[in-house]
Amino acid sequence: MSVEKLIFEKGAPGRRAATMAAMDVPTEPEESMIPAWMLRKEPAALPEVSEIEVVRHYTHLSQRNFGVDTGFYPLGSCTMKYNPKLNEDMAVLPGFARIHPLQPESTAQGAIQLFYELERYLAEIAGMARITLQPSAGAHGELTGLMLIKAYHESQGQGHRNLVLIPDNAHGTNPASATLADYKSVEVKTDPATGGIEIDHLKALLESNAANIAAIMMTNPNTLGLFDSKVLEIARLVHEAGGQLYYDGANANAVLGITRPGDMGFDVVHFNLHKTCSTPHGGGGPGAGPIGVKEHLVSFLPGPLPAKGDQGYYWQDPGPQSIGKVRANTGNFGVLVRAYTYIRTYGPDGLLHVSQSAILNANYLKHELASDYTIAYPQTCQHEFVATAERQKEESGVTALDVAKRLLDFGMYAPTIYFPLIVHEALMIEPTETETRETLDYFVSVMQQIAEEAHTDPEIVKMAPHNTVVGRLDQALAARKPNLRWTPGQEVTH
């Protein structure tokens, strides 16, 4: 298999694929409707290809792409679980797919009902008073959550609070979201022994900044896959200092039916439906990042919110304290249909079993890999854990990146590498609950083989991958001389 030419390099003048509807109305000259100088002079130079060329081209592209349906994705913090086909079928039902966001409410009762019910399910799962399904993705949800916290503080005369505490092992979206809410991020150290927040450092920060703490953003289990058992104490300390607790739901796959962020003391929660609720990642999107809040933050939620009355379901305008809107329309409905179907497929017992199985699969892998790879935190993990290629790096210079690339040769995707930042040569592994034991054993055997190769034949690992359509690509060139689009006459080597 080779790299495919670009669609722009295919076809011929005059070719086309789609045929349009008929021009069945009497027409007038364009210049009589629109002043000539407002009209486009040259047609957009889109490709001119026939239908069979379109089909072969994008089919070939799909064949040069790896998905969960192809193989195992042990990506830590991404929860690459199986994407149920039932969910796909439900999302494309015309009654869900072919509806306009602004059509009269009486003609969209099923849609508003789905919003209404899904909100309640997620509120129950999270232990929160109310949910908004508006945010488009996790990072979007984070920013929305921080905006809510900000509005809350302002309403209490505490608008001067401008600091957000973030653990040193947090995902990059956390400090970025804080900046967009005009907050300053302050790093909280994590305890090297437990991976949990270092309580003494937290206390020191809270003491020296008491008046200015707006919030702490954290996730539990944390990004090392470890449950911070001091979470109630952390909540108490932050609340006493006048701050709010924000829960990053990226790791929610570990807690379904086991514990709830609301019960841990969190005030705001976001979910990543494309992680926890099996909606497909689509190569980078779409996702959905609903936010849950405790009662004291409900009046600040963006609107409108789905409501149920005597006449049926309707969209209720939020009150005057609402932060407004964070996107056009009411949410990523197509994604929400999938998440709704998923939750109804499992029910309460099923969701508990999802988390239990995810935790078991992670601990199983951690156990099996321990003889060949240094496990950063050997204690019982939750749904993910961090292994490292430290041993390999020391012995023969084989890095986490090299191990990741070599895995691609065996029909599997790599774990998350170089995250969290505090662990050197990190390989963050999250198998999820949807993998068979045999797949996990196969992954272990391949990792063992790679460890062996790092010993006896490091070059084969350092030069990997060997069996993919392209080898390692020159990232430095891509960044130094960016080529972000095709132009006619551009020389593309194949």
Range 271-300, binding other proteins (CB under 8 A)? 274, 278, 280-288
**Number of chain residues interacting with other proteins (CB under 8 A):** 212
Instruction: Give 192 or 471: the residue with its C-beta nearer to other proteins.
Output: 471
What whole-number distance in Å separates Cα of residue 227 and Cα of residue 361? 16
Q: What single DSSP character describes residue 181?
A: T
Asked if residue 443 lies in contact with residue 436, where contact means CB atoms within 8 angstroms, the answer is no
Whether the link from the prior residue into 306 is cis, omega within 30° of 0, is no
Contact string 149-178 vs other proteins (x = CB under 8 A): -x--------------------xxxxxxxx
Residue 69 touching other proteins (CB under 8 A): yes
Binding of other proteins by 374 (CB under 8 A): no
Identify which range of 179-187, 197-205, 207-215, 422-430 contacts other proteins by CB under 8 A: 179-187
Least separation in angstroms between residue 211's CB and other proteins is 20
Which residues sit opposite 249 in a β-bridge? Answer: 271
CA–CA gap between residue 456 and residue 122 (Å, rounded): 51
Phi and psi (nearest 5°) for 197? Answer: -65, 135
d(CA 393, CA 402): 10
Distance CA 271, CA 277 (A): 9
Selection from 184, 157, 182, 188 nearest residue 170 by Cα: 188
Q: CA-to-CA distance for 376 and 218, rounded, in angstroms?
A: 20
Q: Which among 197-205, 376-384, 391-399, 446-454 is the span making contact with other proteins, rule CB under 8 A?
A: 376-384
Footprint of other proteins on residues 74-93 (CB under 8 A)? Answer: 75, 78, 80-84, 86, 88-93
Per-residue tokens: 61: 């592209």
- Determine if 309 is a binding residue for other proteins (CB under 8 A): no
Site string for other proteins, 231-270 (x = CB under 8 A): xx-----------------------xxxxx--xx------
Q: Which is nearer to other proteins, 75 or 206 (CB)?
A: 75
Beta carbon nearer to other proteins, 86 or 211: 86
- Which window, 207-215, 392-400, 422-430, 480-488, contacts other proteins (CB under 8 A)? 480-488
Site string for other proteins, 190-219 (x = CB under 8 A): ------------------------------
Q: What token pair was written down for 257?
A: 């039916």
Tokens coding 278: 């099996």
Among 193, 320, 456, 484, binds other proteins (CB under 8 A): 484
Amino acid at 218: M
43 binds other proteins (CB under 8 A): yes
Please give the Cα distance from 240 to 118 (Å, whole number).
33
